[in-house]
Structure 1
Amino acid sequence: MDSYLNTLHAAATESEAVQVIQRLLEDESIYHFGRVLDSPKARELATSEQPNAYWSLLELFSFGTLSDYKAASTQLPELTERQLEKLKHLSLVSLASVSKVLPYDDLIRELDCAHEQQMEDLVIDTIYKGLLSAKLDQQRRLVEVEFVVGRDVRRGDLQAIYDSLDKWSAVCEKELNTLTVGVNTAEQELVSKRAKEREFTFALQDLHMEHASSGGEPESLARYDSQYTSSEYQNEERRTGASDF
């Protein structure tokens, strides 16, 4: 990207700047154009008395899709084969950003593919370029999206993104507070339960000692011990007894 920016900065004429943009839009390794859009030379194309069509094309590659190009094709330069393929990749990225399950028929239509195999090849090529991670379900004729890169964002859309992130942050904070309250409640209940277990164990030991000093343990106490002392209580009693030695 830096080489394109430097070449664009050095462009002496609008024609030279357009040639740089043409090469940039054909470069199969570059799919983000925000830095070029913000460059002074590109801005000159946008603010001239008659805005250059390649500025509009650069904007479309940054934010738009193949459908957008088809709708405005009479006002835009004709795409080369590489540029068309690249715009299809970007269009697929946009579709995958909206829905994680993409029907074959929708993709064939939106990507202007002649047949199913062409669409599948396009999806696979987009995956190989690292723009998308997805699985092709040929039986159900679906593309299941696992990951997709982000595209350039219009400055006018930034506030909506900030608002969305704020709402998401508020929801996360609310859920975290709920979890924290639940954890604290569970811990308090556990402490209370253990305290009651110890109290019961100590009381039971006192009864054992009292009856042992009086000549033995009544059968009713033995049944009480066996019937009402849970395994947790018995384990606690053993631990307590072991700690006395």
Structure 2
Amino acid sequence: MEFCLIALKTAASEADIVAVIQKALDDERVYHFGRLLEAPAVAKLAESQEFSAYWNLLQLFSFGTLSEYRAAGAQLPELSEQQIEKLKHLTLVSLASHFKILEYDLLLKELDCQSEQQMEDLVIEATYRKLLSGKLDQQRRLIEVDYVIGRDVRREDLQKIFNSLNYWSLVCEDVLADISKDIELANSSVLTKRKEEREFASALQEVRASQFASSKARKSGGESVFESQYASSEYQREDIRTRGRAP
């Protein structure tokens, strides 16, 4: 695009400006035309009786599709085969921007392809040019879009884009707030569980210490080695009676 803008500075007539536009449309590296479209010299073509069609053509390549070109008929200049192929690529980009699943029937119609092989070759070429990426599924006759470049944006569409981004930002804030609440709840649950574990360990330690002290006291009082917390009460009473009858 830079070479077009440089050439535009030396354009001495409307015909020269049209020549710059044609170079941009022919160049296989150029798929965005916003900067050229906004150039004052190019914008003046919209008022030209002789060359306004080229202004409209540049608008089409910036925002439009092949079907729009077909519908315009003789109102727009005739395109070369190279320009038609580029417009098909741009049409594919627009479709991929709106649909993540592109069915063959839709592509055959919108890209004006005579066969599935021709359409697939067009998609492969667009992928090679890094205009989009995806999975071509011949069995199901569809393309699953993973990535697609953006096209030029009309000024009147900027507000819509802003509103969409603002809505997306609000949704993200709500999601982050919910995630934060879930994290706080999870942390609280972990702290409560750890506290319960500490209290249980402390209580268990006290019970063990009490059992040990009780067992030690009974042994020091001459009780039978079998007399413990595990001996039944009947056995303990019988043991006491037996020791009481001893001489």
TM-score relative to the length of structure 2: 0.86
Match of 1:124 in 2: 124
> In the alignment, what sits opposite 1:241?
none
Instruction: Specify whether residues 26 and 209 from structure 1 end up closer, same or farther in structure 2 by C-alpha distance, changes over 3 A only.
Output: same
Q: Check whether the contact 2:108–2:119 (CA below 8 A) recurs between aligned residues.
A: yes
Q: Which moved more, 1:80-89 or 1:135-144?
A: 135-144
- Work out which of the two has the higher radius of gyration on C-alpha atoms and give 1 or 2: 2
Distance 2:101 2:189 in 1: 44
TM-score by length of 1: 0.87
**Cα offset, 1:48, TM superposition:** 3.8
**For residues 189 and 119 of structure 2, what CA distance do their matches in structure 1 show?**
58
Unmatched tracts of structure 2, length 5 or more: 217-227, 232-247
Shift of 1:16: 0.7
Amino acid at match of 1:99: F
Amino acid at match of 2:229: P
Root-mean-square deviation (CA), in Å?
Answer: 1.4
Aligned match for 2:229, one of 218, 222, 244: 218
Where 1:215 maps in the other structure, the secondary structure is helix
1:5-57 per-position Cα deviation (integer Å, ceiling 9, x unaligned): 01112100001110111111010010000000111111111234666110100
Which digits, 9 at most, give the CA deviation of each residue in 1:181-222, with x for residues without a partner? 0110110111011101111110110111011011167349xx
Change (3 A) 1:208 1:118: same
Quick check: 1:176 aligned with 2:176? yes
The residue type equivalent to 1:218 in the other structure is Q
CA 219–30 in structure 1, closer or farther in 2 if over 3 Å, else same? farther
1:228 counterpart residue number: none
Alignment partners' CA distance in 1, 2:230 and 2:78: 100
Measure how far apart 1:74 and its partner are: 1.7
Q: Offset of 1:73 from its aligned partner?
A: 2.1
Give the SS at the match of 2:28.
coil
Deviations 1:83-135 (A, max 9, x none): 00000000000000010111111101110011111101000000000101012
Partner of 1:163: 163
CA distance in 2: counterparts of 1:138 and 1:98, whole angstroms:
21
When residues 219 and 124 of structure 1 are mapped into structure 2, their CA distance, relative to the original with a 3 A threshold, is farther
1:42 lines up with 2:42 in the alignment? yes
Map 1:197-208; keep pairs closer than 5 Å: 197-208=197-208
AA aligned opposite 1:118: Q
| Letter aligned with residue 40 of structure 2 | P
Is 1:100 aligned to residue 100 of structure 2?
yes
Partner residue, 2:186: 186
Aligned residues: 220
What's the secondary structure of 2:112's corresponding residue?
Answer: coil
Q: Which secondary structure does the structure 1 equivalent of 2:215 belong to?
A: coil
Name the SS of the counterpart of 2:203 in structure 1.
helix
